[in-house]
Structure 1
Amino acid sequence: MGKATLYIASLLAGLCQLYIGYDSNTFSSVLVIKPWVDFMGHPNDAQLGSLQTCYTVPTIILAIFVAPYIQDRWGRRISMSLGSAIIVVAALVMALTPNSTGFWAGRVVLGVGQAFVYAAPTYMAECATRTIRGRIVGIWQITWATGALISTVIAIGATSNASLGEWQWRLIEITQVVIPSIVAVGIWFVPESPRWLVEHDRLDDARDALRRLRTEQDDVEGEFTDIVEAVKWEKENTSKLSIREIFVDKSIRHRLFIACFLNLFNQVCGNNAMNNFGSVVYNSAFNSPTIALTMQAVQDVVQMFGATIAILWIDRIGRRRALFWGAILMCIFLIIAGAVPVGVGPENIVNNKAAAGVLVLFICLFYVTFGPSWGASVWIVTTEIFPMNVRAQLVGISSQFQNIGSLALSQAFPTMFADLSYKSMFVFAGFNIFMAIIVWFFLPETKNISLEEMDVLFGGVNRVEEQKKKDGLIETKPEGSYADEKQEVSMA
């Protein structure tokens, strides 16, 4: 039952990403829905960018300065539940607003809610065992693609019925209330993060949570002891989000650089442009909003497939290898995706179905590669490399580099595509080369390493071992114990 509970808890948390993906494609879809364009007063490129900005800025500010403290003070679950409830309110405001001002306000409220649900990947990593942590956190990427697909399918259905009028886009918005409502309530029926419970000295609750999340074959007591020792060391030797510690501790500084870089280039690699403005790119190639939305749906299905690969293989192939080769392949696919329409002429691609087909094919290959690499692996690395005492804060800071990248591209891409057309693909291809170089030289492999031992990998102190020495505990456990199991897995 323990493994089932772990997957149920992870899926509920992962659904928080489903409505992030849903909104991303909702925004992309409404751009080509005429009743929405009329309702909003035919916004220009700058206004479209601002619509994304007014959603992203509150997310960035609150996710860095407010949400981590709620997570640490009251728990991961309350942050997810609160954020989900706010998103329900935002969806209702956008769906039922009588004027464009209400839609803008709904976007701002939506950004507020999104800031709090970023507790979810941290919760998933803290609940998972080290051997399947990649698989568990990888659910986060699958649910994003699932949400994007659901949004696009609803958009296709709505736009095929012209009699709906404004409800072509209002229907897309109001459907967004369903999943957040489920999460807001359902998250209270699964255990809180065992590591958060230990940090708050709720040791009996933490042990009970671990038992609910583990199978009979897992050494719950051994894992529980390691968590307690690591947290005890942190309380005696560190402080909660000490700015000095971040900048003085070379190990943490290294990790923060890696996490911020990975999250920024998760968007700058080309992913954000096609997720938020894919319908515009496809519409320019096919001159049909219906076909554009259908191609967006195909892109989402492919992205789900790529994310599923991450679930199956990421704990075997490792994070570093997935990120390096992912960047190389994405670079190649983007070059080809841009070269073909540039070769036939952007103005001629509408009449050249073969060229348009090649564009779609290589964008899909890009997303098959993105899913297990710069999609899932970025979140896995971000949530597993920081120590407990600063995890919520530094995951909050680094993950918001995705929104910073999204914010920049939301402002830049409409103008970039208007000026460069399909040559924009070459810009993103260049970023992917840079990404591969940074991963190769700065990212160690993190698979099969427990969260409590991650410090050693980055040149820090082994907090578990140091605290056991201080407490006079036996360091070498009998054969078959939790410690031996960790060593055998790491050597495999």
Structure 2
Amino acid sequence: MTIGNIYAITAIAVVGGGLFGFDISSQSAILGTYQYKCYFNQGPDYPTAANPQNCSGPTASTQGGISASMPGGSFLGALISGPLSDMVGRRRSIQVGSVIWVIGSILVCASQSIGMLVVGRFINGLSVGICSAQVPVYVSELAPPSKRGRVVGAQQWAITWGIMIMFYISYGCSYINGVAAFRIPWGLQMLPAIFLFFGLFFLPESPRWLARKDRWEECHAVLTLVHGKGDANNPFVQVELQEIKEVCEFERQNADVTFLELFKPNMINRTHIGMFTQIWSQLTGMNVMMLYITYVFGMTGLTGSANLIASSIQYVINVFMTIFALIFIDRWGRRGPLLTGATLMAIFMYANAGLFASRGHPAPPGGLNNTPEESWVIGGATGKGVIACTYLFVASYAPTWGPVSWIYPPELFPLRLRGKAVALTTASNWAFNFALSYFVPPSFVNIKWRTYIIFGVFCTVMAVHVFFMFPETAGKTLEEVESMFMSGERAWNTRVEYGRIRAVEQGQVDPEKLAQVAHDELAAPVETKVDEA
């Protein structure tokens, strides 16, 4: 049995995104517990008979390395995912990622040393890199245009669910004495990958990948199943099949598929937009603040269970605010949420920096709670203000940059390059995730509250960059997006076309006219190329 409902397909596929969420909170909820600190302790404080929980844990730089090992693996995994996906298909490449995750989780769960933990997390990262790059490609190539943003954005929702579920599992396990407190959560994170591996057997392959392999009957069958509700003669299915054929033919005549093509003059603008979508999503500071939130709240005076509970609230906010994007993102478009999110996040980053600078003071040597990263003290109403701004920051990111950073890159590129292009853009995400994961613990120790100013400046710059360089892709077929870039239309002149594409899908507009427009615009560059020759 092959599942044809796009929402059911999405629900299974985006479990691959949930793996990243599991990893984030399996670290953030555990790194502050005495069980973790004492097992991987590097001083200067060590347990004593009088105080067996007196452990400093790994040093700031070592903890940064432990945290960064996963995005380091993800960077490599994202790069290899493009060729892997083009060779074996979108669906099978995600299955490969799920197998790798299980292997990495076994090593992490069984870690006897920091070195073994780092290796296991690096292998987990390979899996996350493959899945985070190819799940958006897979779902975007299956989804109807009017639902593409919603279903690709579900990847981010799966990440938020993974974060929240694993955080509460880790929080509950923190009451267990001994190493089981962190080994149980690290072992349980294998379960979603096992579900993903077997669930993918019931899903269809990407019709556009099948088309590139000249498997046209299977391509037509998948379009019929997912978009035509079993009717092979459905008008929208017919026009979509024709568009895919024309794009495939155009691509065969005009380019070879290599990574280098992404940097040629006619493609480098799209490559830069896709890469910076993922780079900026990291430079917002969101994933860093999610990973190290217990440090931030520790500086406001929260300790133990109170800290973990307060930290968990932002994970709940993240889950429920993402729902708005899933419902409205195809109507909102891509530019609007990116501009709004960047502006709001900048405001809250600057607000936190101002509160820390004006109302706080340095912590005693060694940091609060034997944690050097908790290097600043701010309490009372001002501390609550920091917590509130942190929650509002998360609420600003969740329906904007969170889902759009996964939705947008697959929409930018032509079929022949989509797998490799999204692999490269996602690798950019993981490269900066790696750098920031390593940078933040030492930055809390050395520059303290000024860390917030750095991220506030990033959010300001990204808002300007989006306005001038990021065109609107919502409400267009993937083939129409290709035509839009060929025409050279200015980013600020592009608009959401949700109503038009919905009318086409529902048969209220003649789809043959849409196909003719796409055909004419695709033909223009070919004629130009012949004239130049």
Q: Same fold (TM over 0.5)?
A: yes
What residue is the counterpart of 1:233 in the other structure?
250
1:434 partnered with 2:461? yes
8 Å CA contact 2:239, 2:515 repeated in 1 = no
Q: Report the Cα distance in structure 1 between the residues aligned to 2:346 and 2:160, rounded to whole angstroms.
A: 21
1:184 partnered with 2:197? yes
What residue is the counterpart of 1:5 in the other structure?
5
8 Å CA contact 2:361, 2:378 repeated in 1 = no
RMSD: 2.4
Q: Report the Cα distance in structure 2 between the residues aligned to 1:35 and 1:296, rounded to whole angstroms.
A: 19
Once the two structures are superposed, residues 79-133 of structure 1 have per-residue CA deviations (whole angstroms, 9 ceiling, x without a partner) of 1111111111211221123444332221122122222212111101111111111
Q: Report the Cα distance in structure 1 between the residues aligned to 2:456 and 2:124, rounded to whole angstroms.
A: 32
8 Å CA contact 2:18, 2:162 repeated in 1 = yes
What residue is the counterpart of 1:140 in the other structure?
155
Aligned with 1:167 (options 154, 163, 180): 180
With 275-284 and 134-143 compared, the bigger mean Cα shift is at 275-284
Offset at 1:487? 10
What residue is the counterpart of 2:373 in the other structure?
none
Q: Report the Cα distance in structure 2 between the residues aligned to 1:136 and 1:363, rounded to whole angstroms.
A: 28
Mind listing any 5+ residue stretches in structure 2 that lack a counterpart? Answer: 42-56, 364-375, 490-506, 518-533
1:379 partnered with 2:406? yes
Aligned with 1:308 (options 318, 323, 336): 323
Higher helix share: 1
Offset at 1:342? 2.7
Q: Does the C-alpha gap of structure 1 residues 363 and 3 become closer, same or farther in structure 2, counting only changes over 3 Å?
A: farther
Aligned with 1:296 (options 266, 286, 311): 311
What residue is the counterpart of 2:83 in the other structure?
69
Aligned with 2:220 (options 207, 210, 218): 207
What residue is the counterpart of 2:421 in the other structure?
394
Q: 3-state SS of the aligned residue for 1:169?
A: helix
Q: Does the C-alpha gap of structure 1 residues 485 and 96 become closer, same or farther in structure 2, counting only changes over 3 Å?
A: same
Mind listing any 5+ residue stretches in structure 1 that lack a counterpart? Answer: 463-477
Offset at 1:218? 6.5
Q: Report the Cα distance in structure 2 between the residues aligned to 1:211 and 1:404, rounded to whole angstroms.
A: 39
Q: Report the Cα distance in structure 2 between the residues aligned to 1:387 and 1:44, rounded to whole angstroms.
A: 46
What residue is the counterpart of 2:500 in the other structure?
none
Aligned with 2:511 (options 472, 478, 482): 482
Once the two structures are superposed, residues 203-222 of structure 1 have per-residue CA deviations (whole angstroms, 9 ceiling, x without a partner) of 11111111221244762111
Alignment-mate amino acid for residue 66 of structure 2: L
What residue is the counterpart of 2:74 in the other structure?
59
Alignment-mate amino acid for residue 191 of structure 2: V
Offset at 1:401? 1.4
Q: Report the Cα distance in structure 1 between the residues aligned to 2:26 and 2:9, rounded to whole angstroms.
A: 26
What residue is the counterpart of 1:256 in the other structure?
271
Q: Does the C-alpha gap of structure 1 residues 390 and 365 become closer, same or farther in structure 2, counting only changes over 3 Å?
A: same
8 Å CA contact 2:100, 2:123 repeated in 1 = yes
Q: Does the C-alpha gap of structure 1 residues 4 and 298 become closer, same or farther in structure 2, counting only changes over 3 Å?
A: farther
1:128 partnered with 2:143? yes
For normalisation by structure 1, the TM-score amounts to: 0.90
Q: Report the Cα distance in structure 2 between the residues aligned to 1:223 and 1:268, rounded to whole angstroms.
A: 37
For normalisation by structure 2, the TM-score amounts to: 0.83
Alignment-mate amino acid for residue 224 of structure 1: L
Once the two structures are superposed, residues 248-300 of structure 1 have per-residue CA deviations (whole angstroms, 9 ceiling, x without a partner) of 333x1111101111111101111122022111111222341322222221111
What residue is the counterpart of 1:247 in the other structure?
263
Alignment-mate amino acid for residue 240 of structure 2: E
Q: Report the Cα distance in structure 2 between the residues aligned to 1:180 and 1:21, rounded to whole angstroms.
A: 12
Percent identity over the alignment?
25
